[in-house]
Amino acid sequence: MPFATLDGQSLHYLDQGQGPVVVLGSSYLWDHGMWAPQIEALSRHYRVIAPDLWGHGQSGRLPQDLTSLDDLARQVLGLMDQLDVDDFSLVGLSVGGMWGTRLALAAPQRLQALVLMDTYVGVEPEPTRQYYFSLFDKIEANGAIAEPLLDIIVPIFFRPGIEPQSPLYQQFRATLAALPADRLRDSIVPLGRIIFGRDDILSRLPELDAGRTLVMCGDQDKPRPPSEAQEMAGLIGCPCRLIPQAGHISNLENAEFVTAALLEFLRR
């Protein structure tokens, strides 16, 4: 799979299929592989481009000049420029939706459609922000995500009651446990602080094109609950679809529902 150089670092991305371009923005702590069910289906009709976040997958370390989610949006636009892609649709989950919203506001003429999944562009509630920052401090000090932290972090991404021995759960846990100290300290922890220390752009949501926007959320998402999705959809004036039997990584917990909804929306 190809790489692009952006702000002096090597960004890894998947580029599969032919047709109108659909960009997939992944969640924090996941690489483009989280979109496997959607990539398989969408790439039959579209050219799917799915970048790995800095420090995730095979992407290089976080560029020194990256200090905000606006920088992530600018870099994805830079990737599209390098690939000679003028316009595209964007599906962003979690942080993918956070930078995706900023990209849509910065370059509305380039977006055909925008799907915001399990995401929120308001400020992180202060108790949550402080809690996550305390976890980052521990990870940075240890140079690893230790077992007790895995017990805290992994369940956040899934619906309550998921079987902890399921392959999806165990594979994610093993991936986090294997992250090397340099990648955690150089990229993943600093990026986490940017994500959860973000500024509030809720007031700008009415600027988005409601007719080309869809908000979706797992009906059991804990870190980004449906109330946040409904608030955002209300400000945009677009539909909000809840994904049944799904937590934060809703596209994997109910892949069939999400894939069908994306195909339906993109065809419109």
Those residues with Cβ within 8 angstroms of residue 265's Cβ, 6 or more apart along the chain or in another chain: 113, 115, 214
Rounded CA-CA distance 268/262 in Å is: 10
- Please state the rounded mean pLDDT for residues 230-258: 98
Q: Nearest CA to 244 among 258, 259, 230?
A: 258
Query: What are the Cα distances from residue 20, in Å, to 44, 47, 113?
Result: 11, 6, 11
- Predicted structure pTM score: 0.97
Burial 210-244 (b: 16+ CB within 10 A, else e): eebbbbbbbbbbebbbbebbebbbebbebebbbbe
Strand order of the β-sheet with 47-51 is 3-6, 9-16, 47-51, 21-25, 88-93, 111-117, 213-218, 240-243
Phi/psi at 130 (nearest 5 deg)? Answer: -65, -40
Beta strand extents in 43-133 (DSSP E only): 47-51, 88-93, 111-117
User: For residue 217, what pLDDT is reported?
Assistant: 98
Q: What percent of the chain has pLDDT over 70?
A: 100
pLDDT (tens digit per residue) in 183-206:
999 999 999 999 999 999 999 999
Domains and CATH numbers, the chain: 3-122+200-267 (3.40.50.1820)
User: For residue 213, what pLDDT is reported?
Assistant: 98
Q: What is the mean pLDDT of the chain?
A: 98
Label residue 229 by pLDDT band (50, 70, 90).
Answer: very high
Phi/psi at 142 (nearest 5 deg)? Answer: -80, -25
User: For residue 1, what pLDDT is reported?
Assistant: 74
Is residue 241 within 8 Å of residue 210, measured between CB atoms?
no
pLDDT (tens digit per residue) in 4-57:
999 999 999 999 999 999 999 999 999 999 999 999 999 999 999 999 999 999
pLDDT (tens digit per residue) in 132-185:
999 999 999 999 999 999 999 999 999 999 999 999 999 999 999 999 999 999
Beta strand extents in 99-224 (DSSP E only): 111-117, 213-218
Is residue 223 within 8 Å of residue 64, measured between CB atoms?
no
